[in-house]
Amino acid sequence: MRRLRSTPIPGTRDEYTGVDFNLGFHVRSYHLDLNYRVGPNNLSGIATLQLDNWRPLKSMTLDLAPSMRATRIIAQGTAGHTVKVLRFRQSGGKLRITFAQEIPVDSEFSLVIRYSGTPGPIHSPWGDIGWEELENGALVASQPNGAPSWFPCDDTPDEKARYEIIVTTDNPYVVAVNGTLLSKQTAGSRTTWHYRIGHPMASYLATIQIGEYTQLLLSEPGGVPVRAWVPAELRESAREEFVDQSRMLALYSELFGPYPFNSYSVVVTEDELEIPLEAQGLSIFGANHIQGDHTWERLIAHELSHQWFGNSLGLAQWNDIWLNEGFACYAEWLWFEHSTGRHAADSAREHYAEIAAQPQNILLADPGPRDMFDDRVYKRGALTVHALRTLLGDAPFFRALRRYVAAGAHSVVEPVDLKREILAEAATLGIPEDEVKNLWRAWLHQLELPPFPEPRR
């Protein structure tokens, strides 16, 4: 079976999350039919997974938090293969399924899993992640491994799949989900929201946002549809805060390539959030980020850029987190270069001085789980991007960047994919290959901070 990543799976356990890989199969699609009661915070669902297997399977595992209990699993084979579940159990955050007969390699089959429980976040070294009950609703923010808090899945970043998500909940709550709203049907005191995600998505990027929200349209005529779901009392402040959202989207489309999804949404919760949160085609902000004075403009730019870097271009493995966050931080500097005239080199110099004053004990290419979300990873990643831009010059750098984005669209990328495009552009400019490789090694594979990148003479 074709796999998205170009390198073999490194071992049997994700060294960053500490979670064992679910080996032997690929989930092609998830169909989630969910029923959520806001007051008691009760979730029940039917998850239908379409799978194929790249090795024979007598048993398999999926990720599912202990708070969600599977009650029934039905398997169905295709193309003449009979698939029957012999038994299943849950332990250690895994749903463990044993089949009556071994499933031959390269089979296609489905699993229909009924489950229910009281959803809550998964406790992790990076805080609580996944499903979170709010004062008036719920949100989902799962990076890096919180998706099992609300549905059974193969929760690893390089396993993208198609999604269809149907949520029935109490009125007057709005349900915002990744993707396109296909239908909204009200029956009595409850409404069913039916969404389809049009592009492959990593499980940690799937989200549900439930709250008493009103919708704002933020897009320019003829542009990508941009909307916001906000509490009514924050409507005008949010309109001012996101006034440049479409301009940001237009800039990034010019620099990186076309916006990769059908639309873009932001959700503003009534609760305060420590930081904004990303999902595919959607970003989540807290009420504290909406002051109407553009205090958090850089974060609005940052989260939008993740639609290219992190969502369309997914990670093969978490040690490459700088590919997401370095580009997102650099995108902040690019926005201010465009909107205020402050060149990205000035932002880079400011943050270089801050990093230089801190311990040089994080390896960008493999920062480790403790430091994967450290601000030094974000900013040194952005400085690495700036060093590459400085080496090549503007036009060649953005040509290489657009090729990198186009080649990895709706798939997963690794540093070697970016390096390949940089080397190709450098060759056309007569820049020695060793010069590129030395720069790459210094910024990614050495602890010591390299000298600030200056243009070639």
From the first residue on, what is the mean pLDDT of each consecutive set of 10 residues in the chain (457 residues)? Answer: 52 92 96 97 98 96 98 89 93 98 95 98 96 97 98 97 98 97 98 97 98 94 92 97 96 98 97 95 97 95 98 97 98 98 98 98 97 98 98 98 97 97 98 98 98 89
Phi/psi at 206 (5° precision): -70, 140
Closest CA to 62 of 160, 155, 144, 200: 155
- The residue assigned the tokens 């489905």 is 110
Domain range 25-122+142-202, CATH architecture? Sandwich (2.60)
Q: Which amino acid is at 333?
A: W
User: Cα(65)–Cα(117) distance, rounded to whole angstroms?
Assistant: 10
**What's residue 1's pLDDT?**
30
325 is in an annotated binding site: yes
Closest CA to 223 of 187, 252, 247, 200: 247
Q: Using CA of residue 414, residue 420, residue 426, residue 428, what is the dihedral sign?
A: negative
- 295's CB contacts (< 8 A; 6+ apart) are none
Q: How many CB atoms lie within 10 A of CB 75?
A: 20
User: Cα(383)–Cα(340) distance, rounded to whole angstroms?
Assistant: 20
**What's residue 116's pLDDT?**
98
81 is in an annotated binding site: no
**Spatial contact of 156 and 21, defined as CB atoms under 8 Å apart:** yes
**Spatial contact of 63 and 146, defined as CB atoms under 8 Å apart:** no
Half-sphere exposure of 246 (CA within 13 A, CB side): 16
**What's residue 222's pLDDT?**
81
421 is in an annotated binding site: no
Q: Residue 124 CA to chain centroid, in angstroms? A: 17
**Spatial contact of 48 and 112, defined as CB atoms under 8 Å apart:** yes
Domain 214-307: CATH class, spelled out: alpha beta
- 353's CB contacts (< 8 A; 6+ apart) are none
β-pair type (277-279, 282-285): antiparallel
Fold matches, 25-122+142-202 and 214-307: no
**What's residue 5's pLDDT?**
57
**Spatial contact of 144 and 204, defined as CB atoms under 8 Å apart:** yes
Q: Just list the catalytic residues.
A: 303, 378
Domain range 315-444, CATH architecture? Orthogonal Bundle (1.10)
Q: Residue 341 CA to chain centroid, in angstroms? A: 30
- 168's CB contacts (< 8 A; 6+ apart) are 34, 35, 36, 190, 191, 192, 193
- Cα radius of gyration rounded to whole Å, the chain: 22
User: Cα(236)–Cα(256) distance, rounded to whole angstroms?
Assistant: 31
Burial 228-238, CB ≥16 within 10 A → b, else e: bbbbeebbebb
Domain boundaries, the chain: 25-122+142-202, 214-307, 315-444
Tokens of 325: 């966050």
**Spatial contact of 328 and 306, defined as CB atoms under 8 Å apart:** yes
**What's residue 3's pLDDT?**
40
